[in-house]
Structure 1
Amino acid sequence: MIGLLRAALVIARRDFTAVVFSRAFIFFLLGPMLPILLGLAFGGMGSRIASTDMRPVIGVALPVDQAEGMERAYLALARRPGAAPLPKLLRIPALSQPRAVLARPDAGVTVVLSGSLDRPELTGKADDIDRVGSDVALLAALARTGDAFRLTPVTRHEIAASASGEGQGREVVGRAAQLIIFLLTMLLAGMVLSNLVEEKTNKIIEILAAAVPVDAIFLGKLLAMLAMSFVGILFWTSGGFALLLLVAGPGAHLPAPAVGWPAFLILAILYFAMAYTLLGSLFLGIGGQASTVREVQTLSMPVTMGQMLVFFFATFAAEHPGGWAEMGARLFPFSSPFAMIASAAESPALWPHLLALGWQALWVALLIRAGVLMFRRHVLKSGGPRRRLFSRAKG
């Protein structure tokens, strides 16, 4: 066993240095960040346009005192924190004809408000009136109070924590952790396939198989890709944390999971490692049977679709705790990491995670062993049909 681990570490060090110290790895690290940065930039631009520049403009054709009342009401409502943006108000002469104003290209208004505060009248296109009708009704109702209009002061009674709010926050943290682990697993596990197929094409795998046990080759490649994944995750996490501080500010905080942040982060790393090695060992078995990239894509597509179904099953189980779905998601090896990380966010118990990690590690060993036997039988053409699953590997 010690010799097998030593040989696996040699293979892992070889693959890790070959991947990490290459130019392509730099582009691999930058690749996922560029779409995110572009999405944030365009998303911020779109929200700015939607909230400010594209707001409808209401031409206020009311007497001076009533127009001033509308403006006071507008300023009072616009100062609310987190309030939805109100349509802009633009005062126009009170005797203006609404249809004539809207017919001018340089008028700069979308809808014209006329009549009085008691009976406001809106002139414009039907969809524009629908967009601003409720806002105009609210502003007119507040403006009718005149100078007596004041926002009612609210007395604050602050508490340190809310059980209901903490429960919802922990649920959000658990769902986010599930999604992040799933995306990282699907993004990074496919590299195991391409690595193995490339070495099979170059006949390097046969040289390695003659020098070390095939079990060590599979385990070493899995460990190398896992270590490479942690390098990428460290890089992306540092960039994401810096971006979060830049956008949200230093005072922003996330709801604390039930097991606490230190234990939750450790469990998240372990469950990602288990999810990655489970899927990676399955991909290794597939890559051992494929000889071309086209065959790899054909064989890996059902596994990818199945992994998406597994993720949806784990999220369904997290939304229905205490039922058969949660127990099934925890026992099924491919959904167990996603189900257990959600449980870590909502339940403070730690002993179920020790059992789950042991159960998942057992299935990793089974999948690696099955992939090795299939590789020997179909690629190296060695090993009879009576070879046992846990027979001792020979060098």
Structure 2
Amino acid sequence: MIETIRAAFVIARRDFTAIIFSKSFFFFLLGPLFPLGIGIAASNLGSQVNRDIETPTIGVVLSAEETENLLATRTRLSRNLGSKFLPELMVLNGLQGDEAGIIAKLDSDKSINAILSGTLEKPVLTGSERDVSQWRGKITLLAETALSQPAAVEVETRLVGQTGSSSERGQLLTAQGGQALLILLTMILAGMVLSNLVEEKTNKIIEILAAAIPMDAIFLGKLFAMLGMALVGIAVWSTMGLVGALVFGANWNALPVPAVGWPIFGLLMVLYFSMAYLLLGSLFLGIGAMATTVREVQTLSMPVTMGQLLVFFLAYSAITKLGHPVEWFAVLFPFSSPFAMIARAAQMENLWQHGLALIWQAIFTMIIIRFSVMLFRRNVMKSGQAARKKSLFARVTGK
């Protein structure tokens, strides 16, 4: 085992230095400029989807008579304006005149966007700045219609820093952004493992290495060398992005904070990218073991690429279904697990689950590498049962 690790380190150092100090690596670093526009478009699409699935709810803390009047007014207006035009109303009991209780309710109940209190003549809308500005006009419409008076009703607002509902929406946006970034980087970078292996197969370099070093060490070394190259590229791109954000004066406070906090979330992004890269890279090594020409590489890699998109869609669709069977399947399925787990990091605070997920992904990576080595030995090194049968046939027939 120690000898295999040492040999893998030698291969990794050889491939890593050869790639990093090559002229083509500079052009490789310019690659993300092209898919950057795609990433921005995907982010806008995710925001639109989030707006479409959001169901706003306003808590009502009024007298029994005014509450009944307000609910009847909403029902009447919904017939003409549509149910989606007006927010849902939820009656909250026991909070009349309790300002601290109203704020505590907003912070603890993620299903409520804002709370309407006071009276219909002098309503008070409590919530985050975003929710208050969004629903103030429609609450005014409801109050004026309920009072059946032409005079305008002035809605008093009371702002809080962040409600449970706004916090949940922010974490959902962080989860969507983390998943989109992971899939984009993985699909851009993982394919280089395949091209590197096929190139060395064509030049017969891989057979020379296999004569002196165990195949497991060669595959491990190549995989981690490409991972190191990918992390160097990501570090360069992140630095460029940080400099650009500082130059253009980005508003860092506007970034939704993930449940585990930004430092741990950033570390988990690196770890889950590494696992997603190793999983897909090990699969590409198996494809490279079977392919002998560039045309075969393209034919065999296309289903994997399409499958990776399906895996991403699975994890993306499970973001809002934490704890549901489909979300658990996305967490346990190795190829979707990194994307599903980074969404959990944005929305759930507990950390122990990430340790288990990383161990499970690492075990499955080793299984795929062993299978890829077996394929390589059978297809390139001509070892195994098929080769022995062929050799026996040649000795019997003399051919």
CA offsets 1:209-240 (integer angstroms, 9 cap, x no match): 01110000000000000000001101111112
2:296 is the counterpart of 1:310: no
Displacement of 1:153 in angstroms is: 8.9
**Structure 1 pair 251–345 and aligned structure 2 pair: CA distance change class (3 A):** closer
C-alpha separation in 1, matches of 2:244 and 2:159: 30
**Cα shift at 1:288:** 1.1
Map 1:64-83; keep pairs closer than 5 Å. none
Counterpart of 2:354? 353
Contact 2:175 2:346 in 1 (8 A): yes
The 5-angstrom pairing of residues 99-178 of structure 1 reads: 157-178=158-179
**Which residue is 2:5 aligned to?**
5
Shift in CA distance, 39/227, structure 1 to aligned 2, threshold 3 Å: closer
Closer, same or farther in 2 for the Cα pair 1:201/1:334, shift >3 Å? same
Check whether the contact 2:11–2:222 (CA below 8 A) recurs between aligned residues: yes
Query: Offset at 1:257?
Result: 0.6
Deviation sequence 1:291-339 (CA, Å, 0-9, x none): 1111111100000000100100111111222211001001100000000
Matching residue of 2:290: 289
Aligned-partner residue type, residue 286 of structure 2 = G
Give the drift of 1:384.
3.3
Mean Cα deviation higher: 272-281 or 261-270: 261-270
For the 8 Å contact 2:227–2:274, the answer to whether it is kept is yes
Q: Deviation per CA, 1:171-192, whole angstroms, max 9, x where unpaired?
A: 1001100010000000000000
Gaps of 5+ in 2: 41-151, 389-399
After the TM superposition, which residues 245-394 of structure 1 pair with which residues of structure 2 at under 5 Å, given as runs?
Answer: 245-249=246-250, 252-384=253-385
Mark the runs of 5 or more structure 1 residues left unpaired by the alignment: 41-150, 388-395
Once residues 28 and 336 of structure 1 are traced to their aligned partners in structure 2, the CA distance between those partners, rounded to angstroms, is: 28
Partner residue of 1:43? none
In the other structure, the counterpart of 1:212 is 213
C-alpha deviation, 1:157, in angstroms:
3.1
Letter in 1 for 2:167: E
1:189 aligns to 2:169 (yes or no)? no
Question: Counterpart of 1:20 in structure 2: which amino acid?
Answer: I
Q: For the Cα contact (< 8 Å) 1:33–1:236, is it kept in 2?
A: no
The separation in 1 between residues aligned to 2:240 and 2:175, in whole angstroms, is 22
Letter in 1 for 2:271: L
Alignment check: 8 A CA contact 2:39 2:180 kept: no
Distance 1:356 1:31 in 2: 31
| Residue 34 (structure 1) shift | 5.4
d(CA) in 1 for partners of 2:286 and 2:277? Answer: 14
Q: Secondary structure at the match of 2:319?
A: helix
Q: Distance in 2 between matches of 1:206 and 1:334?
A: 30
Q: How far apart, in 2, do the equivalents of 1:364 and 1:33 lie? A: 30
Name the aligned partner's letter for residue 6 of structure 2: R
Query: SS of the counterpart of 1:249?
Result: coil
By how many angstroms is 1:242 displaced?
2.3
Whether the 8 Å contact between 2:16 and 2:225 is mirrored in structure 1 is yes
Give the whole-Å Cα distance in 2 for the aligned partners of 1:170 and 1:222: 33
Report the Cα distance in structure 1 between the residues aligned to 2:10 and 2:367, rounded to whole angstroms: 22
Counterpart of 1:67?
none
Distance 1:247 1:37, change over 3 A: farther
RMSD: 2.4
Higher mean displacement: 258-267 or 219-228: 258-267
- Tell me what 2:25 maps to: 25
- Alpha-carbon distance between aligned partners in 2 of 1:386 and 1:210, rounded to the nearest angstrom: 17
- TM-score by length of structure 2 reads 0.66
Superposed displacement of residue 262, structure 1: 1.2
Q: Could you tell me how far apart the structure 2 residues matched to 1:26 and 1:250 are?
A: 31
User: Which amino acid in structure 1 is aligned with residue 257 of structure 2?
Assistant: A
